[in-house]
Amino acid sequence: MDTPRDVLVQVVSAVVMVAAVGCAPQSAEPQAASAPSATDTPSAVSAPTVVSLLDPQWMGVTPARPNGWEELNRRITADFQQFDFRPVDETEFMRGCNGCAPWTAELTAYAPGKFDRAAARTGQPASVAGNNDGFFRPADDTEDATLTWQYADNAWATAVGMTSATGSLDRLVELARALKPAERTPVRLPMTFANLPANMPLAEITIDTSPLQDERVDYGTRVEFAPCAMTVEYAVPDCMLHTDHMSVHIAPRDYRPPTGGVPHKIVPVKVGGRDGLYDETANKASVQVMPGMLVEFQLSGPSYPDNNRAGFDEILADVSWAPHPADEAAWPPIADWTK
């Protein structure tokens, strides 16, 4: 059975895919990461041209491992930041789950004005940062346990417990107090974009932060350039449908030729000076940046009909790569190349 995170990947792929219904083995071999060139060093951008809908900085979250929490996933949009957790001794899965995503608690900080204040003030009084500054609703037959509190002017956050181990008031207060909304850490990627159409702004970033080092459960990083982001429940809004959209997937694996289904035509491509492979059927470009890091770019929308290689090549030519992709701390902050 597909997990919620599997479903998310499928939904995002459905939004960005163009006329592709399957794959078949190809003669093209996976290409080794090409040697860095002059284009691998991001140049100073005096006037960024890439539009961003979000402030690409993470809020602070400090649930210490000795307290028994592990962070597994995080997501940022213009409307919220979301962090997913599971206690290290957890034995359950979320409500209605049958082999689904592993997290069983969720911490969400909404941007000012993006949470219903009336809905926030329901349940019994609870204290998070101050005396009775929050509200707690225990789990019932239809809803998970939820703690809601105001962390800034007109800005609310929620901590949701999805199992008996995470649904108590004390446990959710512990998780809520881990949020440090005044702290900021730049979001970084191993590449920059010098030029993207204004109708494809940076809209969403999702990062698998699981400590597990297993490609079967590590979903990597997904970056969405679109008119808007998915909702907090992972629903696809109308503004993402039938619009120009580029999805970038930084996958913790090596290139695998497509298999099964209809044949895909795979040809060489240059992405920011690096050698890659272009799948004409899926309108997808793949670059093996280094062993264990595959970056995939997929483009769709009315401005980019099937096999519109020219429009895609223009975008890919303006990619610049971090000179040391294995050193995440040295990756350029997104804020350096967006406005």
Q: Are residues 324 and 219 in the same domain?
A: yes
Q: What is the pLDDT of residue 121?
A: 79
Q: What is the pLDDT of residue 215?
A: 52
Give the CA angle between residues 75, 225, 313 to the nearest 5°: 140
User: Is 13 a member of any domain?
Assistant: yes
Q: Which two tokens stand for residue 213?
A: 């080092």
Q: Are residues 267 and 236 in the same domain?
A: yes
Q: Are residues 331 and 248 in the same domain?
A: yes
Instruction: Say if residue 138's pLDDT is above 90.
Output: yes
Q: What is the pLDDT of residue 8?
A: 43
pTM of the predicted model as reported, rounded to 2 decimal places: 0.84
Rounded CA-CA distance 193/197 in Å is: 11
Lowest mean pLDDT across 67-76, 123-132, 212-221, 249-258: 212-221
Q: Are residues 215 and 174 in the same domain?
A: no
Domain's final residue, options 157, 186, 215:
186
77 in Cβ contact with 203 (< 8 Å): yes
Q: Are residues 267 and 290 in the same domain?
A: yes
Residues 6 or more apart in contact with residue 116 via CB below 8 angstroms: none
Domain limits for position 12 = 4-53+203-336
Instruction: Say if residue 17's pLDDT is above 50.
Output: no
Q: 62-105: per-residue pLDDT in tens? A: 875 557 889 999 999 999 999 999 998 887 777 777 657 789 99
User: Is 80 a member of any domain?
Assistant: yes
Q: Are residues 125 and 212 in the same domain?
A: no
Q: Are residues 146 and 251 in the same domain?
A: no
Domain's final residue, options 156, 186, 216:
186
Q: What is the pLDDT of residue 98?
A: 60
Task: Kindly report the average pLDDT of the chain as a whole number.
Answer: 84
The upper half-sphere exposure of residue 313, i.e. CA atoms within 13 Å in the direction of its Cβ, equals 10
User: Is 59 a member of any domain?
Assistant: no
DSSP 264-314: --EEEEEETTEEEEEETTTTEEEEEEETTEEEEEEEESTTS-TT-HHHHHH
User: Amino acid letter at 115?
Assistant: F
Q: Are residues 177 and 218 in the same domain?
A: no
Higher-pLDDT residue of 22 and 95 is 95
Whole-Å CA distances, 88 to 7, 70, 220: 25, 6, 21
Q: What is the pLDDT of residue 216?
A: 54
Q: Are residues 86 and 22 in the same domain?
A: no
Helix (H/G/I), strand (E/B), else coil: 338: strand
